Amino acid sequence: MSNDTLEKAKKIAAKWGKKPENIIEMMHDVQSEFNYLPKEILEIISKEANVPIAQIYSIATFYNAFSLKPKGKHKICVCMGTPCHALGAPKVVSALERELNIKCGETTPDMEFSLDISGCVGTCGLAPVVVINDDLYGPVPATNVKKLLKKYGKK
Ligand code: FES
């Protein structure tokens, strides 16, 4: 690990006063800085804030906002709540898997796109809904997936 990375991790812990009660905030900062939670960084945060690493991992796996695997530059999330599911979300996922040549939960080898599913995002009137980074789209028929990906630079 580079000194730069080490410094960043220590800075994040210091920003939150190295207090164990601020561990989630620290993890959020790590996630936005690195786009996921790298193991080495979590180990530093664990030492700095004096929170057992096992506890950090259990928080990381509990909250959807955290990822222990590197994510793509564009994070695609297909809503799988009941209305979206009923209106074709599984077909949208299959179309995305085909276009990106990855399975749901994976990231493309060029680190451009990652694909995941989520629970209801609260806009069921637009079902089926796809969220890409901070943009929400709906209704998205499976046949529109290619066009949608083009917007994000997919050739
Ligand atoms: S079920 Fe998809 S937005 Fe509610």
**What domain range includes position 138?**
74-150
**pLDDT grade for 2, boundaries at 50, 70 and 90:** confident
- How far away, in angstroms, is 93 Cα from ligand 1 center? 14
Question: Quick check: is 128 in a domain?
Answer: yes
Q: How many domains does the chain have?
A: 2
pLDDT, mean over the chain = 94
Q: Of the ranges 32-36, 48-52, 130-134, 144-148, which one carries the lowest mean pLDDT score?
A: 32-36
- How far away, in angstroms, is 70 Cα from ligand 1 center? 26
12/42 same-domain check: yes
88/24 same-domain check: no
Residue range 33-91, pLDDT digits in tens: 888 999 999 999 999 999 999 999 999 998 878 889 888 999 999 999 999 999 999 99
84/144 same-domain check: yes
95/50 same-domain check: no
9/53 same-domain check: yes
Please give the number of the atom of ligand 1 that sits closest to the Cα of 138: 3
Please give the number of the atom of ligand 1 that sits closest to the Cα of 81: 1
Ligand 1 interacting residues, C-beta cut-off 6 A: 79, 81-84, 120-124, 127, 129
Give percent of the chain with pLDDT exceeding 90.
83
pTM of structure: 0.76
Question: Quick check: is 135 in a domain?
Answer: yes
41/100 same-domain check: no
- pLDDT value, residue 1: 67
Give the C-alpha separation, 108 to 106, whole Å: 7
Residue 115's CATH number? 3.40.30.10
